Amino acid sequence: MLSARGGAELPTRGATCRPQVKSTHVAMLIKTHLLTKSYGELTALSDCTFEIPPGQVCGLLGPNGSGKTTLLRLLMGFLRPTAGTAVIDGMDCYRDRVRVHREVGYLPGEPRLFRDMRGRDVLRFFSEVHPCGNLDHSEEIAARLGMDLARQVARCSTGMRQKLAVAVMMSLDVPLLILDEPTANLDPSVRGEVIGLIREAREAGRTVIFSSHVLSEVEQVCQRVLMLRSGRLVHDQQMDQLRRRHRIHARLAGDLPAVPPTLEGRLTIVSRQDHEVVWETSDEITPLLDWLARVPLAEVRIEQVGLQTIYDAYHAQDSPRTTP
């Protein structure tokens, strides 16, 4: 993995590299229980409990200072928990961190690379020190990202160094990828390639934790989203459930009839003013269409409830909007 502190965490070679993993011997690949990290009176992460099964792409959302990077560093064993536990594939993330590192590809939010090396040498170095490194694959990914491997790292832009770091991590044949803002500093076309790489990892059965501030990217590729706020896990959202939710904006041409008993619990009035009403569904919209056809509507607009709506419910007051 690439060290966020300026060097490289070097796992001991000799471990057998897993092929593309479809399952593992534990029901949940990642488990945390009341995981807490404090620095004196400052609590960066508090009582964080969740589980992630093998093969799931899980988004990690929250504004700066919400605890995302602290959580990822605890999972990597770079930090000792103040309280609670974190386990990956049955191994304690702190006590067994060397063994954990053999099964994880970790991309920090600010990757540091060897400035005197050329790009190709960086790829070769990491392919040799990680037991699951693959130089050919990393060079293929670098080519997809449009990386000039002949250029010295010191002469690369921030975006070019990010491409190089992504090529290193995404080429590792490991069960788990932990990616802290992998698309940061990249142009839109390259961002799309990185999202494609994450999608390919999902299709190969790998588990991915994907931290990002770009909600549209998370919506594209994640099956689940965890939201942090002020060091606490405040929401756990399955994306397939979210995609079934819709918001209905209507302007009425007459009186609003009562919602029939068959739709109770599926339809909630979000706002109502004069002849305008906004409903939100909690499930598929199809059962509502017959009733809507009998409502005196002058105008109607139906839209899917996006991740931004859920995010704003927790963060609108303390962070800027996070869509690009």
The domain spanning residue 176 has which CATH number? Answer: 3.40.50.300
One-character DSSP codes across 59-112: EEE--TTSSHHHHHHHHTTSS--SEEEEEETTEETTTTHHHHHTTEEEE-SS--
DSSP 16: P
Per-residue pLDDT averaged across 198-222, rounded? 95
Is residue 16 in a domain? no
Shared-domain flag, residues 84 and 215? yes
pLDDT at residue 260, as a whole number: 83
Helix (H, G, I), strand (E, B), or coil: what is residue 295?
A: coil
- Which one of 196, 223, 241 terminates a domain? 241
- CA 188 to CA 324: how far, in whole Å? 10
Shared-domain flag, residues 62 and 159? yes
Shared-domain flag, residues 124 and 107? yes
Is residue 40 in a domain? yes
Shared-domain flag, residues 266 and 234? no
Is residue 114 in a domain? yes
Name the pLDDT band for 75 (thresholds 50, 70, 90): very high
Shared-domain flag, residues 171 and 63? yes
Per-residue pLDDT averaged across 65-71, rounded? 95
Is residue 315 in a domain? no
Residue 110 phi/psi, 5-degree rounding, is -130, 80
What are the pLDDT digits (tens) for 181-195? 999 999 999 999 999
- CA 75 to CA 96: how far, in whole Å? 11
Least confident of 11-25, 135-149, 241-255: 11-25
Q: In this structure, are residues 170 and 163 in contact, taking their beta carbons and an 8 Å threshold?
A: no
Helix (H, G, I), strand (E, B), or coil: what is residue 305?
A: coil
Residue 19, CA atoms < 13 Å, CB-side half-sphere:
1
Name the pLDDT band for 266 (thresholds 50, 70, 90): confident
What's the domain range around 173?
30-241
Shared-domain flag, residues 60 and 194? yes
Is residue 110 in a domain? yes
Residue 166, CA atoms < 13 Å, CB-side half-sphere:
32
Shared-domain flag, residues 136 and 237? yes
Shared-domain flag, residues 215 and 278? no
Shared-domain flag, residues 216 and 134? yes
Is residue 20 in a domain? no
- Which one of 187, 214, 241 terminates a domain? 241
Is residue 320 in a domain? no
- Which one of 241, 263, 288 terminates a domain? 241
Per-residue pLDDT averaged across 215-230, rounded? 95
Q: How many domains does the chain have?
A: 2
Shared-domain flag, residues 275 and 205? no
Shared-domain flag, residues 75 and 219? yes
245 or 43, greater pLDDT = 43
Is residue 319 in a domain? no
Task: Extract the tokens encoding 18.
Answer: 């897993």
- CA 160 to CA 153: how far, in whole Å? 8
Residue 123 phi/psi, 5-degree rounding, is -60, -40
Per-residue pLDDT averaged across 196-208, rounded? 96
In what side-by-side order are the strands of the sheet with 83-88?
A: 42-52, 30-39, 83-88, 91-92
CB atoms within 10 A of CB 304: 14
Residue 261 phi/psi, 5-degree rounding, is -55, -30
pLDDT at residue 321, as a whole number: 41
Shared-domain flag, residues 208 and 84? yes
